[in-house]
Amino acid sequence: MTTAMGILPHLTIEDAMPLALSVDIPFWPQLPHYSIYEDMYVQVSENFPGIRLDEDKRKLWLDTAGFYEELGDYAEHMEDDATFEMSKQHSRAFYDFLEEDLTGFQIIRGQTIGPLSYGLRVIDENLKPIIYNDEVRPIMFDFIARKINAQYRQLLRKHPNVFVWMDEPGLEILFGPFSGYSSEVAKVDFKEFLDMLEGPRGVHLCGNPDWSFLLSGLDLDILSLDIYGNGQIFTRYVDEIKAFLERGAIISWGIIPTLTEEFNKENSDELTAQLEEYWSYLSSKGIPLELILDRAWIAPARCCLVNIDGAKTVEQSFKAVHSVSRRLREKYHLD
């Protein structure tokens, strides 16, 4: 089956929605070029105590004094679903997606920024990432879990088979030498966070962390990654990948590049062969190919907002996703 990252480079919802609906597992598009409120960090921040947004400077930060001042009012509304549901100002695309006819799809999907990346990216007035604040961090984890559950319930009212995955682009920072928030502590926090979530639990990231962090001990249901850029490293985690697949989890193999220079060097045959090489290696190490195929989705490698051709290359990459999927379905008689 095919799916893709939520972030698209389009300037309008009308242009982005057909692409988001073109995959087997459609999603509502996040469109930061359309509105700053459609940026994934800004979207999830709505109603978090102390959060401030400068629209002109496109700057998001935490006012620590404001956090403590607003915490009491926030606590009074924590059991109100409206506190955690995105407003139309913060995601017109989400509500337009809910108006679409989605009955023909087997699964639909939502997404949000994950707490690790959010906490490492959002800073306070002293330029310190909020994940280092021992009083803010647990509230932030709980807040984002409630946000995900609210989105999951909204999608569930639209379709019986849904999930919301988290984008965690900052995850690999945890394994750098200068991180003040260790991967060991992060794993405990993240596991507690995941245990709060309703529905299937998935993570997408484009980076290259210690893959054991995600493959083992978190009971993820879906892992989406840039296999085009990170395949040689990821596939060395043979034992973890085998255990991950054997317990029923899914890997979304992001094999199609979206950066123009990379995309123009490849074609569908070459990308299919590259993916099969990774699968052949894993199979040679004891993971049955049938198991890999049974638990595999196909996707673009990553989102891309920087191409000078706007949305053109990204749209071509979606066509390549379908082409690779079709080749694999036909070769392995998956239909």
Query: pLDDT tens digits for 247-279?
Result: 999 999 999 999 999 999 999 999 999 999 999
Q: How confident is the model at residue 140 (pLDDT cuts 50, 70, 90)?
A: very high
Q: How confident is the model at residue 171 (pLDDT cuts 50, 70, 90)?
A: confident
| Beta carbons of 43 and 51 less than 8 angstroms apart | no
pLDDT over 80 at 42, yes or no: yes
| 219's tokens | 């009971």
Q: Which residues does residue 225 pair with via DSSP β-bridges, in sequence order?
A: 205, 253
pLDDT over 70 at 131, yes or no: yes
pLDDT over 80 at 179, yes or no: no
Average pLDDT of span 127-151: 96
| Beta carbons of 196 and 145 less than 8 angstroms apart | yes
- Cβ-Cβ contacts under 8 Å for 159 (sequence gap 6 or more): 102, 103, 105, 107, 108
Average pLDDT of span 118-130: 95
C-alpha to C-alpha distances, 276 to 37, 61, 215, 271, nearest whole angstrom? 39, 44, 21, 9
Average pLDDT of span 72-82: 94
| Beta carbons of 220 and 201 less than 8 angstroms apart | yes
Q: How confident is the model at residue 176 (pLDDT cuts 50, 70, 90)?
A: low
Q: Return left, alpha or beta for 306; rule: phi > 0 is left, psi -120 to 50 is alpha, else beta.
A: alpha
Residue 261 confidence (pLDDT): 96
| Nearest to 193, CA basis, from 163, 224, 148 | 148
Average pLDDT of span 128-145: 96
Residue 335 confidence (pLDDT): 77
What is the spatial distance between Cα 303 and Cα 8, in angstroms, rounded to a whole number?
A: 7
Relative to beta strand 296-300, strand 250-256 is parallel
The rounded mean pLDDT for the chain is: 95
pLDDT over 90 at 184, yes or no: no
**% of the chain at pLDDT higher than 90:** 93
* Residue 42: burial class (beta carbons within 10 Å; 0-12, 13-18, 19+): buried
Residue 181 confidence (pLDDT): 80
Q: Which pTM does this prediction carry?
A: 0.95
| Beta carbons of 228 and 256 less than 8 angstroms apart | yes
Residue the block writes with tokens 């749209």? 315
| Beta carbons of 224 and 254 less than 8 angstroms apart | yes
Residue 310 confidence (pLDDT): 94
* Residue 10: burial class (beta carbons within 10 Å; 0-12, 13-18, 19+): buried
Helices 136-156 and 183-195 meet at what angle, rounded to 10? 40
Residue 177 confidence (pLDDT): 62
What is the spatial distance between Cα 88 and Cα 86, in angstroms, rounded to a whole number?
A: 7
pLDDT over 90 at 116, yes or no: yes
Residue 20 confidence (pLDDT): 98
Residue the block writes with tokens 């094999």? 255
